[in-house]
A and B are shown apart, each in its own frame.
Chain A
Amino acid sequence: MAQANTQQAKTQFGYRRHPDQDRPGPGAAEHPVVVVGAGPVGLSLAIDLAQRGQRVVLLDDADRIGEGSRAICFSKRSLEYWDRLGVGDRMVDKGVVWSVGRIFHGESQLYQFNLLPEDGHKRPAFINLQQYYAEAYLVDRIGDLPAIDLRWRNKVTALESRNDSVALTIETPEGAYRLHAQYVVACDGARSSLRQMVGAEFAGQVFEDQFLIADVKMTAEFPTERWFWFDPPFHAGRSALLHRQPDDVWRIDLQLNRYADPIVEKKPENVRPRIARMLGHDKFEFEWISLYKFQCRRMDRFLHGRVIFAGDSAHQVSPFGARGANSGLEDAENLSWKLDRVLRGTSPASLLESYHVERSLAADENIRESTRSTDFMAPNSHQEARLRKAVLSLAKETEFGKRMVNGGRLSVPCSYDSPLSSPDADAWRAGPSPGCSMLDAPVGEQAYLTDAFRRGGTDFTLLSFSNGAAIDAPDGVKDIRIGGEGGLADPSGLVANRYDAEPGAAYLLRPDGYVAARFRHPTREAIAAALSRAEGLN
């Protein structure tokens, strides 16, 4: 199983001895930032930090990329982030683009939805891509960035927090060595060993029902859509999901009952008849089979002194909402610019607290959404099952019933009620309010606002709508001007429309593309005050 990927992407890497392991004397090497865990989150964070000019040590205890599609669904927001990291095109070129989902009950379709029903966005609602491809492309990108020192088979075995640094003990095939870091970011997954080392709890809920997932290789004519079944004829009384991936690989998730024996259920000879029943034939090969229980947990604090947690190490959600890897990538984009500023001394260390505040809100939202989906798929009581049955039956003939059917609510960027945002002083009818993610829109033929933001260097950026009088952006703030002489075009009017902007208006964007403040009639003083707040300076 799982050999197909090796032809197209390198997944095995060698351990190499590093001079840090041979330092003479008692002093350990000092590094500004060490990222632990080379999964999608750790890899992306390392790239982001390196692009901002930081030197990064990235440690991983394995020497290979794990098998299986795992995260599979990557959101528009993640693709926009990966564009900024220089890997967006490669992910989208390889990935399977989709935006339509269908929900079935028994034999019949209940409804379909489109997650991006409008034009004028560079990136689609989602792509499906095996996680091993995503990781391989990120590792390739790291090859272009000498500021990242990626060390395979380097396992952190001890951590000691000090006032001004963190001391790590790292085990390698050639013995242990020590490193000191100003900051450590733990991206080491749901079973995080760093979380245990700082003694933090991982509290939450484990659901009883189990899900079987299989990557199945076959040629099939199903459309590129997300298909979800309640009580399908091929899997009575339970749920099922079918998703297309690249390379003629299909992802299938089947709900099992809570008493199913994981070892028995995972055996290919037992999975095969289940899948054959679903597909109506058995002309397929398995690439990967796994079994899991839904879990929704989070750490109370994402910051433990100089050790910062991101991705699954900090929060874990049930699948069916694409909220795991995507929220981890949002953690990375939220953290990297803040950590960069703190390391440079341009913002105080207290700016990092806003990472905890903002990403805690996101974690709570993701846990709430995925808990609701899980409870809908696996009702906890007879009465919950009865209410679900009522919803499913009403969905056949009512619009409100369709909208109550919960087969997974798919990830969209969280809006932050944030100390970094300046509240609106003007009246706005629409557009992203402070604490919301910027919206994409075309600024020419095949040119998009998200491109302009990326080319500007993904720094603080003033997006202004020209009225002839140029607004001065404060020092160090990048400029994107719509309209006017030398400004970008708004050929479809969608930029002004999506930002509810009349000439003269301006949005202050943060380096992660979130809105910090917006003004109908900006003044230099108001922009400077909002900037200072978003930088954590007051």
Chain B
Amino acid sequence: MPLSTSSNFARPDDAFRAIVEAHRGFTEEQSADFDAALVLILANHIGDIDVLREALALAKRRMIDGQQQQQQQQ
């Protein structure tokens, strides 16, 4: 099964909001710790190494795109 990038939540704003609120009151360091645990929990729930690799590639591609945009703006 490939990585699903269509919108899977009936109410996407609720999902985004839940994650944002979970970080409220955290320092940068605590947020990073929290995210690390969350990534591992969700990765295990997916339980498919190919899907995980696709997700990692998507996240990485976005960072590279972001860097290029920054460079163009400079």
Q: Is B10 an interface residue (CB 8 A)?
A: no
Task: For the complex formed, measure the closest distance between the CB of A403 and the CB atoms of chain B, giving whole angstroms.
Answer: 9
Q: Which residue of the partner chain, among A387, A398, A400, contacts B36 with CB atoms under 8 Å? A: A387
**Which residues 355-407 in A have Cβ within 8 Å of B in the complex?**
383, 386-387, 389-391, 393-394, 398, 400-401, 404
B67 at the binding interface (Cβ < 8 Å): no
Point out residues on B near A: beta carbons under 8 Å.
Answer: 32-33, 36-37, 39-41, 44
How far, in angstroms, from A492 to B41 measured CA to CA in the complex?
41
- CB-defined contacts of B44 to chain A, threshold 8 Å: 398, 400
Instruction: Name the CB-closest residue of A to B37.
Output: A390
Question: Complex formed: what's the CA distance from A387 to B37 in Å?
Answer: 7
25 A-B pairs (CB sep. < 8 Å):
A383-B32, A383-B36, A386-B32, A386-B33, A386-B36, A387-B36, A387-B40, A389-B33, A389-B36, A390-B33, A390-B36, A390-B37, A390-B39, A390-B40, A391-B40, A393-B37, A394-B37, A394-B40, A394-B41, A398-B41, A398-B44, A400-B40, A400-B44, A401-B40, A404-B40
A residues near B37, Cβ cutoff 8 Å: 390, 393-394
Q: How far is the CB of B74 from chain A (nearest CB, A)?
A: 26
Residues of B within 8 A of A390 (CB): 33, 36-37, 39-40
Give Cα distance in the complex from A404 to B41, angstroms.
11
A391 surroundings in chain B (CB, below 8 A): 40
- Residues of chain B lying within 8 A (CB to CB) of residue A401: 40
> How many Å from the CB of B62 to the closest CB on chain A?
18
Label chain A's interface by main secondary structure: helix
Q: Which residues in A have their C-beta under 8 angstroms from that of B39? A: 390
Residues of chain A lying within 8 A (CB to CB) of residue B40: 387, 390-391, 394, 400-401, 404
**Which residues 428-474 of A have a CB within 8 angstroms of B?**
none
Complex CA gap A341/B39 in Å reads 53
Task: Please measure, in the bound complex, the distance between the C-alpha atom of A390 and the C-alpha atom of B36, giving whole angstroms.
Answer: 6
Q: In the assembled complex, which residues on chain A have CB atoms less than 8 Å from the CB atom of B32? A: 383, 386
What chain A residues lie within 8 Å of B33 (beta carbons)?
386, 389-390
Smallest CB separation, B64 vs chain A (Å): 18
Please give, as numbers and ranges, the residues of chain A lying within 8 Å of B41 by CB-CB distance: 394, 398
* Distance in angstroms between the alpha carbons of A239 and B32 in the assembled complex: 24
For A394, the chain B residues whose CB sits under 8 A away are 37, 40-41
Chain B residues with Cβ below 8 Å from A393 are 37
* Most chain A CB within a 10 A radius of its CB, from B33, B39, B40: B40
For B32, B36, B44, the residue with the greatest tally of chain A CB atoms inside 10 Å of its CB is B36
6 shortest interchain CB distances as A-B pairs: A390-B36, A390-B37, A400-B44, A386-B36, A387-B36, A390-B40
For B47, the closest partner residue in chain A by CB is A400
Complex CA–CA separation, A383 to B39 (angstroms): 13
User: Min CB distance, A290 to chain B, in Å?
Assistant: 35
Closest to A391 in B: B40
Q: Contact string, A230-254, partner B, CB cutoff 8 A, digits 1/0?
A: 0000000000000000000000000
